[in-house]
Homo-oligomer: A and B are copies of this chain.
Amino acid sequence: MSKNIKIHEVGFRDGLQNEKVVIPTELKIRWIERILNSNVDIIQLGSFVNKEKVPQMADTDILFKHFKSNDYKVLFSALALNEKGADMAVESGADVICLGASASNTHSLKNTGMNTSDAVSRIINIARMLTNEGKKVQVSVQSAFGCGFEGSISEEHVLNIAKKYIENGLINISLADTAGHAYPEQVTRLFSAIKSFDENTVLTSHFHNTYGLGIANCYAAMNAGAEYFETAFGGLGGCPFTKVAAGNVSTEDFVHSLNRNNVRKDIKLESFFELSKECSDFLEKTMQSYVLNVGQISY
A interface vs B, CB < 8 Å?
Answer: 1, 146, 151-152, 181, 183-186, 209-213, 215-216, 218-220, 244, 246, 250, 253, 256-257, 260-261, 289-291, 294-295, 297-299
- Asked if A210 meets B151 with Cβ closer than 8 Å, knowing A219-B220, A257-B184, the reply is no
Copies of this protein in the assembly total: 2
User: Measured between alpha carbons, how far is A146 from B299 in the docked complex, in Å?
Assistant: 10
Verify B211–A257 contact, CB threshold 8 A. Answer: yes
Verify B211–A297 contact, CB threshold 8 A. Answer: yes
User: Measured between alpha carbons, how far is A181 from B256 in the docked complex, in Å?
Assistant: 11
User: Measured between alpha carbons, how far is A294 from B246 in the docked complex, in Å?
Assistant: 9
Chain B residue, CB-CB nearest to A145: B260
> Chain B contacts of A295 at CB under 8 A?
244
> Chain B contacts of A256 at CB under 8 A?
211
User: Measured between alpha carbons, how far is A250 from B211 in the docked complex, in Å?
Assistant: 11
User: Measured between alpha carbons, how far is A17 from B209 in the docked complex, in Å?
Assistant: 28
Verify A299–B261 contact, CB threshold 8 A. Answer: no
> Chain B contacts of A183 at CB under 8 A?
257, 260-261
> Chain B contacts of A211 at CB under 8 A?
253, 256-257, 290-291, 294, 297
> Chain B contacts of A289 at CB under 8 A?
212
Verify B257–A213 contact, CB threshold 8 A. Answer: yes
Residue A186 contacts which of B1, B215, B260 (CB distance < 8 angstroms)? Answer: B260
Verify A212–B261 contact, CB threshold 8 A. Answer: no
